[in-house]
Amino acid sequence: MIRVGFVIGGYPPEEHKRRADVALSYSTPEIQVGIVDVAASPYFYGMTPTEIQLVAPAFIDAFKRAEKEGYDAVVPLGTLDLGVDGGKSAVDIPVVGPTEACLHVASLIGDRFGVMVYHPSLVTFSRAIIRRYGMEHRLVGFGVSGFDLPDLAAHHDEVVDNFVNEAKRLVEQGAEVIYPMGISQCPVHIKADWLQKQLGVPVVEGIGTPIRMAALLAGLGLTQSRVRWVKSRNV
């Protein structure tokens, strides 16, 4: 049995349960998914790079706790890959970022992809994350579902309609794969298999993909390179 810890921030109880239920659904007879809670939360308006860097220590501490609790790999919730770069130097188990995993999986099943974000204000630094992983040249463009994260549940039907219309536009522009860069769009509020039927292209979502990728690495006995991520002695 391979155990993958899924780190969830401080969401309101109903929202926390939505995300935990989806993550736990990716357990199999060979993979056990467990929830690791962290007090830091991305569930507010106006997320900027400042907030992303401020929460990194809390996520790194959660990765360390997951390792101590016997997990074989760890994944943070959310496509901002919170704490991932520092976490890889902090623990010896694989640390897999959702965007990191999804971009690489998308590149295996298509040459070019379209990315869906919540709100137009997120396009610029979402592009920067994709650039950091060396995948910008595969990007067709961005679509937006039109609402900031805390408003998605209250506007569910509009989010679905906007997502489908914008994703279809990206497919018409040449996207062969759609990546929802925001797990609250998909798979929390919209299921990937349903979207694939609407769009006619693969949809790579940010909960199941990194969980299964983390399990794959652990099962192969692989973890991050200590040449690239030297083990920290200071945390």
Residue 78 within any structural domain of the chain:
yes
User: Which pLDDT does position 44 carry in this prediction?
Assistant: 53
Using an 8 Å Cβ cutoff, are 65 and 6 in contact? no
Query: Is 159 a member of any domain?
Result: yes
Report yes or no on 224 lying in a domain. no
Same domain, 34 and 119: no
On whether both 25 and 111 belong to a single domain, the answer is no
Q: Are residues 189 and 108 in the same domain?
A: yes
pLDDT in tens, the chain (235 residues): 999 999 998 888 888 999 999 999 999 999 999 999 998 766 555 567 787 788 889 999 999 999 999 999 999 999 999 999 999 999 999 999 999 999 999 999 999 999 999 988 889 989 999 999 999 999 999 999 988 777 888 888 999 999 999 999 999 999 999 999 999 899 999 999 999 999 999 999 999 999 999 999 999 999 999 999 999 987 7
Q: What is the total count of domains within the chain? A: 2
Domain of residue 61: give its range: 2-97+209-219
Do 105 and 199 belong to one domain?
Answer: yes
- Asked if 129 and 83 sit in the same domain, the reply is no
230 falls within a domain: no
Number of residues that make up the chain: 235
User: Between vectors from CA 33 to CA 85 and to CA 6, what angle results, nearest 5°?
Assistant: 30
Each residue's pLDDT tens digit, 45-76:
556 778 778 888 999 999 999 999 999 999 99
DSSP string, the chain: -EEEEEEE----HHHHHHHHHHHHTT--SSEEEEEEE-S----SS---HHHHHHHHHHHHHHHHHHHHTT-SEEEESSTT-TTHHHHHHH-SS-B--HHHHHHHHHHHH-S-EEEEESSGGGHHHHHHHHHHTT-GGGEEEEEE-SS-GGGTGGGHHHHHHHHHHHHHHHHHTT-SEEEESSTIIIIIIS-HHHHHHHHSS-B--TTHHHHHHHHHHHHTT----TTTSPPPS--
CATH number at residue 65: 3.40.50.1860
Same domain for 103 and 13: no
Reading the block at residue 40, the tokens are 């830091």
Measure the CA–CA gap between 118 and 222, rounded to whole angstroms. 34
Report yes or no on 232 lying in a domain: no
On whether both 57 and 90 belong to a single domain, the answer is yes
Residues 53 and 14 in one domain: yes
Residue 233 lies in a domain: no
- Scan for tokens 């204000």, then name that residue: 121
Strand-pair partners of 75? 6
Asked if residue 24 and residue 63 are part of one domain, the reply reads yes
pLDDT at position 219: 97
Domain assignment present for 192:
yes
Are residue 78 and residue 35 in the same domain, yes or no? yes
Q: Do the domain assignments include residue 229?
A: no
Task: Examine the domain organization and report whether 115 and 173 are in the same domain.
Answer: yes
What pLDDT, on the 0 to 100 scale, is given for residue 43? 56
Indicate if 107 and 38 belong to the same structural domain.
Answer: no
What's the CATH code of the domain at 161? 3.40.50.12500
